[in-house]
Amino acid sequence: MAASPDDMNQEQKITWRRYEDGDTQFDDLTEQIFQASWSHKCPTYIQRTPPCQASCPSGHDIRGWLDIVRGLEQPPEGVSWQKYAFQRYAEANPFPSVMGRVCPAPCEDGCNRNEVEDKVGINSVEQFIGDYAFKNKFAFPKPESESGKRVAIIGGGPAGLACAHQLRLRGHACTIFESAEELGGMVRYGIPGYRTPRDILDNEIQRILDMGVEVKTKCKVGVDVSVDELEKEYDSIFWAIGAQSGRALDVPGGDAPNCITGVAFLNAFNDGRLQHVSGRVVVVGGGDTSIDVASVARRLGHIKNVHEKDRPENAVIGQVAHDVAATAKREGAEVLLISRRPIEGMHAAKKEIDDALREGVEIRGAVNPSEIIIGEDGRACGLKLISCEEQEDGSVVCYPGTDVEIEADLIVSAIGQQGEFDGFEDLNNGRGLMDSDKHFQIPNKPGHFVAGDIIRPHLLTTAIGQARIAAISIDRYLNGEEMTKRPKIDANHFSLLRKLHEVGLDPDEVHEPVRGTDDAKFAVHNFDTRAANEVIPADELFLGHFEYEARIRREERGVSSEDVLGDFEERMVGLTEEQAIEEAKRCMSCGMCVECDNCIVYCPQDAVIRVKKNERTLGRYVDTEYSKCIGCHICRDVCPTGYIQMGLGE
Q: Where are the alpha helices (DSSP H) in 56-105?
A: 62-70, 81-90, 96-102
CA dihedral 440→442→443→446, nearest 10 degrees, is -110
pLDDT at 173 over 60: yes
- Confidence (pLDDT) at 544: 92
The Cα 537–Cα 530 span in angstroms is 13
**Confidence bin at 523 (pLDDT 50/70/90):** low
Instruction: Select from 643, 623, 644, 620 the least CA-distant residue to 632.
Output: 644
pLDDT at 182 over 50: yes
- Confidence (pLDDT) at 1: 35
Sequence-distant (6+) residues with CB within 8 A of 397 are 388, 389, 390, 391
- Confidence (pLDDT) at 305: 65
Q: What is the mean pLDDT of residues 219-224?
A: 97
- Confidence (pLDDT) at 563: 85
**Rounded (10°) angle between helices 62-70 and 81-90:** 180
**Confidence bin at 314 (pLDDT 50/70/90):** confident
**Confidence bin at 26 (pLDDT 50/70/90):** low
- Confidence (pLDDT) at 2: 39
Say if CB 645 and CB 636 are below 8 A apart.
Answer: yes
- pTM here is 0.90
Least confident of 53-67, 115-129, 509-523: 509-523
Which residue type occupies 644?
Answer: I
HEC string for 264-324: HHHHHHHCCCCCCECCEEEEEECCHHHHHHHHHHHHHCECCCCCHHHCHHHHHCCCCCCCC
Per-residue pLDDT tens digits for 462-497: 999 999 999 999 999 999 999 999 999 999 999 999
Per-residue pLDDT tens digits for 527-550: 899 999 999 999 999 999 999 999
Task: Please state, rounded to an integer, the average pLDDT across all residues of the chain.
Answer: 90
Domains of the chain and any CATH numbers = 29-48+495-530+591-650 (3.30.70), 150-245+419-478 (3.50.50.60), 247-417 (3.50.50.60)
Per-residue pLDDT tens digits for 433-469: 999 999 999 999 999 999 999 999 999 999 999 999 9
pLDDT at 263 over 90: yes
- Confidence (pLDDT) at 556: 84
Helix (H, G, I), strand (E, B) or coil at 91: coil
